[in-house]
Amino acid sequence: MKNRIQSIFLNKSKKLVTFVTGGDPNYKNSLKIINQLAESGVDIIEIGMPFSDPMADGPIIQLASQRAIEKNIDLNKIFKICKNFRKKNNHTPIILMGYYNPIHYFGDKKFINKCSKSGIDGLIIVDLQPENDGHLSSIAKKNNIEFIRLVTPTTDKLRLQTILANASGFLYYVSITGITGAKFGNINKLKSSVNNLKNKTKLPVIVGFGIKTNMQAKKISKFADGIVVGSSIVEMIQEHFIDKISLNNTLKKINNFIKSLKKAIK
């Protein structure tokens, strides 16, 4: 049985994946923002699980995690957000992205069971290495949840084999050696790396980290299967929170940004 992620890649169009931190700036508005992303035409939605030490994330997403934690957003509330989203939308794939510590504390089996019941289609666990993720990935697979792995510019051939062994859904290629939101790197080098990766796997390759502009999105989508945009959207949410911009205006801004990106990657 294909899940939503597998189904969406049956269509060969370039995919727009977006990231927001679940519960940022609060539960109610986070759900509205996630609904807006889907309504604006996002292909896959990544929801960040708030964590106190998000080491792979830049300042913008770190602050988003902090805002969510201050609003008492935990895994149970993330599941609740997803279940409520599914009341309106049963087709847009949801991926939970984050760190293993909260999952380990929650319990692997219990976590995957809640994912399955909440309409979650995939997982990206940033700090769980492929040598150590067998238990969680096997439970996920049994529940038809894709276990998406990261590939970086520093991944060597031997390690890539380990990463590809149990990867599913798609491969997330990290475009820079750094944190989320960092300055984007060399496009030609990126193209070469993605093409090399695509020669070694049948999985779609989606590029993320550092993508902020329509021009970057357009260039990358010519050789990748899609792009991930996160920090730029989270920054809009931050402006809503700090500068007291109305939620309606923020939703309009997000909508316009998403539609411009979708147009760019066609």
Catalytic residues: 46, 57
- Residue 207 has phi, psi (to 5 degrees) of -105, 135
Cα(57)–Cα(47) distance, integer angstroms? 14
Report whether 136 contacts 114 (CB < 8 A): no
Give the burial string for 35-53 (b: 16+ CB within 10 Å, else e).
bbbbebebbbbbbbbbbee
- Note the residue count of the chain: 266
Tally of CB atoms within 10 A around 228? 26
Report whether 78 contacts 23 (CB < 8 A): yes
